[in-house]
């Protein structure tokens, strides 16, 4: 029996050696890390959006790394989500706003950028992939191919049709339309996503435990209509949106869309935004429960320590800043700065990193993890893997700037019931304060160093060649004073030149002048762990 056991060991070790001599083969072992990506909708960083997240604090931040300088390059849902999926700036994936004409889940998107998402790469690397929740704002609509369309790269698909809702929505369940009603126990979307994702993890580990998995959970919260779970409907009733900073400030030195806002805001607008603030937090409590449920599923399956968990939002949000009651879409700090937390193997615990990172880095990071930490990701991606930042003792050279860009979305008709509104404006609520328009189109370059001594934002607008906005965040973190007329003109020239470069960049040219380091040794570390694990198991068999 011992001779037979040794022969088995020898044969299997030979097979194992052949596996490691052929890295192109899609052979995975239990040490290959899983990935769970939780994406919220409109969760801000500046106005306390992370405050209700007790489980995120305990289970992710205290057990992982928080990135304090995380930004979206386009502060609106669909373009930002397209950037997350593709690792590209908006000018490269061509999704510019939330409309079909703006390439949000359009047939053109489906035939081009959607073919190159991180899910496609992870699936090709041998991962079982599962999506649950909101995808892109126009997904599943008639002009986007209906719910029958299942994006490539996903083995299992549970996608919300259209924009965020909590009740009375339609789900594309692997291409089949399933309608949901308004019963909390069976239909409340955030809870349903928690249950479905946990079920996938348990099912996967019971049937395909040798295959790593990628799970993306995209919640409706805290996006409007802000329907909280009934058990949270009475929370935070005495709170108001944060005051101070740029709250109710006059935007007289900013572009025209800010100047049209009523200042100070009328009482109804203030009451409206305070109510929105409370309800947003109420909806986030269910997201916090979702995090705990998913973490429990990982723990119960024995995969918690072998899983990377990434937590972020598509964009930020403003609540009264510069007298704009509620929305995103703007170039200001409340709208572009977002949360990012990562936990997983080799990620330093309970630390904060201050490097400049963006949403276009999430895709490369997921691909890098799924391909063994070699630093390889598709050349079409404009971002970079964050794996070099996982260990707090590592100090790689890093980017010093990034691009913010947005193409405004308007209406051909004047906003209804707004006597002073004009054609082309949109999102004119509450109280006829318009948050967007066709010519709310801008591009910015944000330059900052690691120690915070330099932090400048320079923005240009397509409707005027003579007006720019410039802010020095080191002395004016709330962007109250546009210093376009007082800053050194040579700085303006350099910022303009850099903006031109970034606005036309693709792939690696988007990462210059910053440089990056990758860790090919991570793949070898996982390979050696796999070899040690299997060797121990084989010798146990031989000794029987």
pLDDT by residue (tens digit) across 350-364? 999 999 999 999 999
Gap between the Cα atoms of 423 and 205, Å rounded: 55
- pLDDT-derived band at 8 (thresholds 50, 70, 90) equals very low
408, 440 Cβ separation under 8 angstroms: yes
Of 77, 428, 444, 459, the active-site residue reads 77
Let me know how long the chain is: 544
DSSP class of 28? -
Q: What is the CATH architecture assignment of 33-512?
A: 3-Layer(aba) Sandwich (3.40)
pLDDT above 80 for 6: no
Whole-number CA gyration radius for the chain: 24
Identify the H or E element spanning 2: helix 2-21
Return the minimum-mean-pLDDT range out of 275-279, 406-410, 485-489, 508-512: 508-512
Average pLDDT over residues 503-517: 78
Give whole-number Cα distances, 152 to 81, 106, 120, 491, in Å. Answer: 16, 14, 6, 45
- In SS3 terms, 454-475 reads as CEEEEEEECCEEEEEEEEECCC
Give bridge partners of residue 351 from the DSSP assignment.
65
DSSP class of 347? P
The full DSSP string for 149-173 is ---TT-SEEEEESSS--SSS-EEEE
pLDDT above 50 for 510: yes
Which pLDDT score is estimated for 516?
38
473, 457 Cβ separation under 8 angstroms: yes
Q: Which residue has the tokens 């955030």?
A: 190
Interacting residues of 201 by C-beta distance below 8 A, sequence separation 6+: 213, 215, 294, 297, 298, 301, 303
- pLDDT-derived band at 119 (thresholds 50, 70, 90) equals very high
Q: Are strands 401-406 and 442-448 parallel, antiparallel or unpaired?
A: antiparallel
The full DSSP string for 295-337 is HHHHHHTT-GGGEEEEEEES---EESBTT--EE--SSSHHHHB
Give bridge partners of residue 373 from the DSSP assignment.
none
Which pLDDT score is estimated for 450?
81
pLDDT in tens, 398-438: 999 999 999 999 999 999 989 889 999 999 999 999 999 99
Average pLDDT over residues 254-281: 98
DSSP class of 247? B
- Assess whether 77 carries a catalytic annotation: yes
DSSP class of 288? H
The full DSSP string for 56-124 is IIIIIITTSEEESSEE-SS-SHHHHHHHHHHS--HHHH---SSSTTTTSS-HHHHHTGGGGSHHHHHHH
Average pLDDT over residues 6-27: 38
First-last CA distance in the chain:
8
Gap between the Cα atoms of 92 and 79, Å rounded: 11
400, 447 Cβ separation under 8 angstroms: yes
Return the minimum-mean-pLDDT range out of 8-17, 33-42, 81-90: 8-17
Which pLDDT score is estimated for 31?
63
Average pLDDT over residues 298-317: 98
pLDDT above 70 for 461: yes
């Amino acid at each position: 029996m011992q001779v037979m056991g040794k022969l088995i060991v020898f044969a299997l070790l030979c097979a194992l050696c052949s596996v490691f001599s052929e890295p192109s083969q899609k052979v995975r072992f239990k040490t290959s890390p899983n990935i769970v990506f939780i994406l919220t909708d409109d969760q801000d960083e500046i106005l306390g959006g992370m405050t209700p997240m007790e489980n995120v604090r305990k289970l992710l931040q205290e057990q992982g790394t928080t990135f304090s300088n995380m930004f979206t390059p386009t502060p609106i849902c669909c373009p930002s989500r397209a950037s997350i999926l593709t690792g590209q700036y908006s000018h490269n994936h061509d999704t510019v706003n939330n409309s079909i004409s703006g390439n949000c889940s359009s047939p053109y998107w489906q035939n081009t950028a959607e073919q190159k998402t991180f899910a496609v790469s992870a699936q090709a690397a041998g991962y079982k992939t599962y999506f649950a929740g909101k995808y892109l704002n126009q997904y599943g609509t008639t002009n986007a191919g209906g719910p029958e369309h299942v994006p490539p790269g996903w083995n299992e698909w549970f996608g919300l049709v259209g924009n965020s809702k909590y009740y009375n929505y339609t789900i594309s369940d692997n291409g089949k339309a399933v309608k949901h009603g308004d019963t909390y126990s069976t239909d409340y979307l955030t809870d349903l996503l928690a249950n479905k994702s946990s079920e996938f993890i348990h099912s996967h580990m019971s049937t395909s435990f040798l295959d790593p998995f990628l799970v993306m959970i995209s919640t409706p919260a805290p996006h409007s209509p802000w329907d909280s779970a009934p058990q949270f409907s009475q929370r935070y009733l005495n709170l108001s949106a944060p005051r101070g900073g740029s709250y109710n400030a006059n935007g007289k030195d900013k572009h025209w869309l800010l100047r049209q806002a009523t200042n100070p805001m009328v009482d109804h607008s203030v009451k409206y935004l305070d109510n929105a603030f409370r309800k947003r937090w109420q909806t986030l409590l269910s997201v916090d429960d979702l995090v705990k449920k998913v973490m429990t599923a990982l723990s119960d399956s024995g995969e918690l320590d072998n899983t990377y968990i990434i937590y972020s939002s598509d964009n930020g949000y403003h609540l009264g800043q510069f007298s704009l009651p509620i929305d995103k879409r703007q170039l200001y700090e409340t709208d572009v700065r977002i949360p990012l937390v990562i936990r997983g193997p080799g990620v330093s615990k309970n630390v904060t990193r201050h490097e400049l990172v963006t949403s276009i880095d999430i895709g490369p990071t997921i691909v890098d993890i799924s391909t063994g930490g070699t630093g390889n990701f598709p050349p079409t991606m404009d971002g970079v893997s964050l794996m070099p930042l996982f260990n707090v003792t590592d100090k790689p050279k890093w980017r010093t700037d990034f691009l913010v860009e947005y193409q405004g979305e308007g209406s051909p008709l004047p906003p209804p019931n707004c006597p002073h509104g004009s054609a082309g404006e949109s999102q004119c609520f509450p109280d006829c304060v318009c948050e967007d328009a066709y010519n709310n189109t801008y591009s910015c370059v944000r330059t900052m160093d690691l120690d915070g001594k330099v932090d400048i934002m320079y923005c240009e607008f397509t409707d005027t060649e003579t007006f720019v906005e410039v802010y020095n965040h080191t002395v004016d973190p709330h962007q109250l004073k546009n210093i376009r007329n007082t800053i050194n003109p040579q700085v303006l020239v350099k910022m303009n030149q850099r903006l031109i470069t970034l606005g036309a960049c693709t792939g690696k040219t988007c990462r210059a002048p910053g440089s990056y380091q990758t860790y090919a040794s991570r793949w070898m570390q996982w390979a050696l762990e796999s070899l040690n694990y299997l060797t121990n198991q084989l010798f146990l068999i031989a000794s029987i």
